[in-house]
Structure 1
Amino acid sequence: MTATEFDGNAVQNNRRENPQTKYEALLIVLGKRLNNDQLTAEGVSRVDALIKYVLENDCSKTIIAFCGGITADQTMSESQAMYQYFCQQLPALELSLLGAVLLEEQSTSTVENIQHLSQVVISSGLLVPGSSIPVRFISNDYHLERLIDIQNYLDEQGLLKRLVTKCRIHGLMMKIVYDISDHVAVPYPHQTPQGYAFLAADELTTYRVYLEGVRNHVFERPLSEVREMPLNTAMKALCHLKEYGRRNNDQLVFRSIKILDSAIKSTCPECSTQVLRDSLAQLDKTLTLLNRYLDPENNVKR
């Protein structure tokens, strides 16, 4: 099997004839929703960054993993779309020098990216029990910043820790540095007022993750201490969204802000379990809709 052949959602491995190959790195490209089965500017920017990395580094002992399944209204997985674009853009000679490629095609969110990726890595058989391998992520800067901030400030809820823990159970040691400089952070391509508003809405994800942790009783630290960073981040994001709504007289944004602000202020550390659950449900629903509405790459009619 050559590196350019496509084998379902499993492995592209031009070293299949040598099962004892010792892989020295795992490079994970996180997916972004497709638009009409096509990569968006964000998706393209992530794969372009991967191509640049491959051309500048020896990847003969690197496993490259593309993450992302089939989301609503699409027929192609994010990982397959990224892989196809990757193969089209990279010279055949360079493709032949890659260690291995994995496609994770079941996930529809970043949370699922991490959950399903660990199983794909384990099932691939590319790493033998006892292996220790450094892991590097490729995604847009805001995406990686959120992942790493959550890991650093809400460690109990961190997705990167989940990947490490699940793989460790199977004897695989994933070494992930919780510093964005150790990863490939790609500049967000939409430097527009709407793009900045989308980034502000995305920052509210950290507060949602905090509430999910409270609901699941994962925090042993005082909640007043745990809540401080997510709360400060959320209030700054709401200020940015209010300014965007004012400048554009956007009533949907104003309505969303009202719901989000109420949900955040209602969930003080002393709030009841019922208030917590109701507020989290409202915040989750509203934030998802607002994210889709503000995303410059979405087809929502404005």
Structure 2
Amino acid sequence: MKNSNVTIKMGDVTFDLREVHNFEWIQDEGRVFQVFSQQDSGNISFGVESADGTRKFIKYAGARTLEFNGEPGDAVNRLKKGIHLYEELSHLSLIKLLNHYPVGSGYAAVFEWFAGENLHPHETYPPPAKYTHPDSPYFRFRQLPVELRLQSLNDIFDFHVFVEQNNVVAVDFYDGSILYDFIHHKVRVCDIDMYQRKPFYNSMGRLWGSSRFMSPEEFERGAVIDSVTNVFNMGAIAFGLLGGELDRSVDRWDAGEALHKIAVKAVSPNRDERYKSVAEFVSFWREACHMSEGNIC
């Protein structure tokens, strides 16, 4: 079958779509210097620099992207629906929303640019290169001292305690939702579009997300998705940044046995064996940190 994809050129940046789309509007925001076109969400994102040198990150829905098999209108509705989350959950560890507006049949969300690199760089370093290539952001992050990685986790945990306090549940949170600035050693959560107001029940069977970080109830139609679910997600991300990801043995863990025991409890397949809230999990985690040799947190 003949490939009918079209190549779009914007300055020095090119990318492919399923069909022609009008991006003239983005010139009002500035010069496109980077594009992220391979998300399966139906969104396409741009790094844009204005005339005064200010950089912004623009997420746009409305074009027919290669990795999305749904209708652009569905992606538009999801992006618009998620905007309030960035406003309500404004936090130092979340990328900052600056503006949002309709553009023709599409929708654009404009964020402050954060000079970080995505820890699941599927476009440039798909697995297994993600885990082994010396230039992969994930590989480089895993070479950092454990103290710096723990600080990143603490910031991620703080944000999700805040999420919990605001009666919201994290959905589709994984290492692809994390940006890390290797110069200033700062972390940001960058994608909360699928987070949901409580109460939230699994109406899909397999929810959105990466199975590497998902709890059993995120595969079970009708199951409640709540703080106990997010305890699993936080434990799983700890294994992703400090351990062997799905290999949760202590031999692959970099941060001592006390923290390993807490992470193992958090990712128990049995909900009743996990911590009852993200706040409770973080409390035990911090206590273990402070009691560890050298107070590594």
Greater relative contact order (CA < 8 Å, ≥ 6 in sequence):
1
TM-score norm. by structure 2 comes to 0.32
> Relative to total residues, which structure has the larger strand share, 1 or 2?
2
> Relative to total residues, which structure has the larger helix share, 1 or 2?
1
